Amino acid sequence: MLSETQKFDDIVFHAAALNGWSQHYDQLTPGEFRGFLQDVQLPSMRIFREYMNCSVVQHTMAPKNTFNLIIPIRGTQDTKLSNHTLRPDCFTLIPSSAEFFLCTQGETDYVVISLDESFLEKMLVPEDFDTFLKYPKGYSLRCDESALCALQSLCKHVLDDRTPDLAGNLKGRVQALFRDEVINYLLQGMDVAGQRSRIRNLESNHHYLVRYCHDRILNEKGQISILTLCNELRIPRRTLAYAFERVTGVSPNNYLRAVRLNAADRGLRDSPDWALTDIAHHYGFTHSSHFGREYRKLFGKRPSDHRKW
């Protein structure tokens, strides 16, 4: 068993720390980033907890041939917001064959259970294995409350490095019993979620509009206006503003400014030969001083903390 806990003060390093997962994160809310990652890897099962002190946009590609499920730890998400929050009463299924795009509001705190599909097929009777397969990925399932609470408790216990018999020496029969208990509660939760009214598709028209603008802003050299995006999408500005409110909880201007600043932050690391003024202009900031102010407002540090002008 591999057990590890890491703390971060940089969102780029945090996103890259999950071995085997391809992902990057964008920080949405201002302030210095703080996060931690607790990771326990067992035979055929991986459990990790991610905490971040801010709202984030996540682009994640899970390993192939795995069944992956998000369990919220803290109920900080506003359930009035749209499909891309982590609701405190739901499991969220992550696709393993396509990029998963998720916006969170406020503090981000959840556990992911990742199971090897071939192991599940060997372990379970066909009817139970079909329970894992029948739900399309990229959905959230409003699940049995007792199963959700039991899974939260089990996961926090195994991830707690103050519990030496679990976090330090989880071996043999204890590992198998823990794994079986987790799978049992997952099945219980998904059985209750079997009613179609309890299944929420994470792919909505609002989501499409936000993601189109997100990708478009990154593929455009310089800045692109909100009105230009509305013309391309053939929608009025109020429709676009409503979509961003429902999916991200912030306005289109604030969201897209944060996306450009996060892209510039990655550019500072990935393009060491570029002058900071060139990076600022490339991501739509015409004045270096304005870029510096906005960068510091979002990340709580200066661009020159990476390198000099």
Question: What pLDDT sits at residue 196?
Answer: 46
Per-residue pLDDT at 251 exceeds 50:
yes
195-245 pLDDT, tens digit each: 544 555 555 688 889 999 999 998 877 678 999 999 999 999 999 999 998
| Residue 216 · residue 224 · CB < 8 Å | yes
Domain ranges for the chain = 2-201, 205-305
Distance between CA atoms of residues 89 and 66, nearest Å: 23
| Residue 252 · residue 226 · CB < 8 Å | yes
Say how many residues make up the chain: 309
CATH architecture assigned to 205-305: Orthogonal Bundle (1.10)
125-169 pLDDT, tens digit each: 999 998 888 877 777 777 778 888 888 888 888 887 555 454 444
- Non-local CB neighbours of 61 within 8 Å, separated by 6+ positions: 21, 22, 23, 98, 99, 100
Question: What pLDDT sits at residue 198?
Answer: 53
Handedness of CA 156, 160, 164, 166 (dihedral sign): positive
